[in-house]
Amino acid sequence: MLMCLLIVWVGGSFADAILIPTPFYGVITEDVSLYSGVKLYHVPLDSKPLGKDRPFHLTAEKLDQALQRAKHQGVNVRALVLINPHNPLGEIYTSEEMNSFLKFAKEHVLHVIVDEIYMLSVFGEDITFHSVLSLDRLPDPQRTHVIWGLSKDFAMAGVRVGVVYSENTDLVQALDRLGNLHGVGGPTQHQVALMLRDHEWVNDVFLPENRRRLREAHGFVSSQLTKLGIPYLHRGAGFFIWADFSKYLKEHSFTEELRLWRCFLTHRVLLSCGQAFSCSSPGWFRIVFSDQQRRLQLGLFTLCSMTHFLKCFRCCSL
């Protein structure tokens, strides 16, 4: 909801657009179409990069190329959306990368919406997350807006409590006027305040244990994918693994990706297919691992038993 309200505010008229790297959390597309006529202009990231580049690697140069392409097509870009840590990639942008994105946005007078909803779900022991607010200096504070919520980091799905940080007074006042319609109820605010005031429990008990469980679950699922010979992005944040099942496609198309998704579903394995995240390359799926190990074991056992079936997938008709 916070993302939608921000996009509506910075997006401008129906003719305007917002840059967003793909793949990205697909619900954003649905929410934007529901609340406004603002268009999302995709910045496709390559799953098979050239040279020293890494898969799905975002750079300021790629943002600039997309912006110039949009201008050539007559599209007026007003803002940029960044998800850090990223859903579905699990990618974490370094301070240097984030600074380069913000400088690009300032140069082209773009608002930047930074979604940090997974900021406390970084479980990689050799990985450090740096919030955009930890930068020594924001290139354009008036056009940089950060959002976060409790639903992911505190395992409170369905509890709609979020935060917007912005130094833009006009934006803050606009959001304040929406409080009567989209505000958080008093009892919920009270309970959340009580929880967050317990610094010892949050910092010394819950967050370390949550990260330990995420790290353990990620290790289990990733090791099974390795045994099955399924490539995946090895990242250390979020609740999911971005895995490449493209070798099981009859042809390199999203139609075949959907057929593969249906095959998984028929065998009671529910994965999210890449086209749901506007991925530019067919065959990628998001695997959520933040669950009890017995359920993960059952799902992976089923996936493993499907290996022979997947190899024969070209003969499958559903």
- What is the chain's pLDDT, residue by residue, as a tens digit (318 residues)? 556 666 666 655 555 899 999 999 998 888 777 777 788 999 999 998 777 778 999 999 999 999 999 999 999 999 999 999 999 999 999 999 999 999 999 999 999 999 999 999 999 998 999 999 999 999 999 999 999 999 999 999 888 899 999 999 988 888 888 777 778 888 999 999 999 999 999 999 999 999 999 999 999 999 999 999 999 999 999 999 999 999 999 899 999 999 999 999 998 999 999 999 999 999 999 999 999 989 999 999 888 887 666 665 554 544
| Tokens of residue 2, six digits | 């916070």
Same domain, 98 and 190: yes
Same domain, 142 and 165: yes
Task: Report, in angstroms and rounded to the nearest whole number, the Rg of the chain calculated over CA atoms.
Answer: 20
The domain in which residue 155 lies consists of 2-197
Domain-ending residue, one of 132, 165, 197: 197
Q: Find out whether the peptide bond into 231 is cis, omega within 30 degrees of 0.
A: no
Give the rounded distance of the alpha carbon of 68 from its chain centre: 24
CATH code of the domain containing 108: 3.40.640.10
DSSP H/E element including 234: none
CB 105 within 8 A of CB 143: yes
CATH code of the domain containing 247: 3.90.1150.10
How far is residue 153's CA from residue 64's CA, in Å, rounded to a whole number?
32
Same domain, 182 and 264: no
Domain-ending residue, one of 130, 163, 197: 197
How far is residue 143's CA from residue 109's CA, in Å, rounded to a whole number?
8
Same domain, 91 and 168: yes
Same domain, 168 and 264: no
Domain-ending residue, one of 197, 219, 251: 197
Same domain, 88 and 218: no
Question: Terminal CA-to-CA distance of the chain, rounded, Å?
Answer: 36
Same domain, 249 and 121: no
| Tokens of residue 43, six digits | 């910045």
Q: What is the DSSP string of 46-64?
A: -SS--TT--TT---HHHHH
For helices 2-11 and 169-177, angle between their N-to-C axes, nearest 10 degrees: 120
How far is residue 58's CA from residue 43's CA, in Å, rounded to a whole number?
9
The conformation of residue 87, written as its DSSP 8-state character, comes to: T
- Global confidence as pTM: 0.92
Same domain, 94 and 46: yes
The letter for the amino acid at 160 is R
Q: What is the number of residues in the chain?
A: 318
> Considering its fold, how many domains does the chain have in total?
2
